[in-house]
Amino acid sequence: MAPSAERRRAHAAVLALLEKRHGVGSKGAGPSAWMELRLDRALDALALDAGGSLEGALGLLETEPSRLEEIAERLRVGETRFFRDPPQWEALRKVAVPAFATRERVRALSVGCSSGEEAFSLAMLLDAGLGRAGAYRVVGMDRSEAAVAAARAGCYSLHQVSHVPSELRSRYLSEADGQLRVVESLKGTVSFVARDAMIGPPPGHYEIVLCKNLLIYFGNEAAERAVSLMLRSLADGGFLMVAKSEVPRVKALGHKAEELAPGVVVFRG
């Protein structure tokens, strides 16, 4: 059933606040069905503390910033896995890593790293491909303190590591208490920081920046800011890789794409 006019107005008001303060939005097309569901759940919970009305719930969002932060977290679905989208990882392994092999140190960044699978995937790829101590450094950033804490632990279930190739799994993961932990030698090459994409990457210049399945939660203005900041952080010859589904959107923002490998697109500064 379609939301009532009152609900639609409430959704629009919340999204306007989220876009302004957190960069979360619906890209100007109105909320999707899954976003409406999460907004409704959040508004209903707020209304219980505001006399049962949507108007009261919106008032709480204006006066209590932490309540808006909670909704932003609900709308950010931190789904991630090791080596998500294999063609992109094959292009990184076969094209990008060899191209950077002569550099003294390769720096890579995972933006919106969630619980760390993408950042550790990068580290495995770089460690296996470069094969020398101190040859690379990986940084993972996510605005969620809880996600960063989970990433730093480097501990995953058997299901979570099911996409790790067997040769990398045996080399970089060790089993303990029914779970798999990232080995300390690899863990020491990756650092995690709680940081919002609206602020931009940590200081430095990066050969590889991955930002996959994060821009889908941003309105156009926030997406443009995030992309511009990431492109600005690239080292000479470096590139930004987004999810395949996000490529048309980044192109629409005016950024020029180039093929890293057949069917795999990246953006350069």
Domain annotation for the chain: domains and CATH numbers: 5-75 (no CATH), 86-267 (3.40.50.150)
Residues 6+ apart with CB under 8 A from 263: 87
Mean pLDDT, rounded, of the chain: 90
Most confident of 4-13, 59-68, 77-86, 197-206: 197-206
Nearest CA-CA partner of 72 in 23, 9, 32, 117: 23
Task: Give dist(CA 178, CA 176) in Å, integer.
Answer: 6
Q: pLDDT tens for residues 86-107? A: 999 999 999 999 999 999 999 9
Q: In what order do the strands lie in the sheet with 234-242?
A: 190-194, 136-142, 106-111, 206-211, 234-242, 264-267, 257-261
pLDDT at 34: 63
The tokens describing 49, both together, are 């503390």
Q: pLDDT tens for residues 1-50? A: 566 888 889 988 998 888 888 777 665 556 666 677 778 878 887 887 88
Q: In what order do the strands lie in the sheet with 155-156?
A: 155-156, 179-182, 173-176
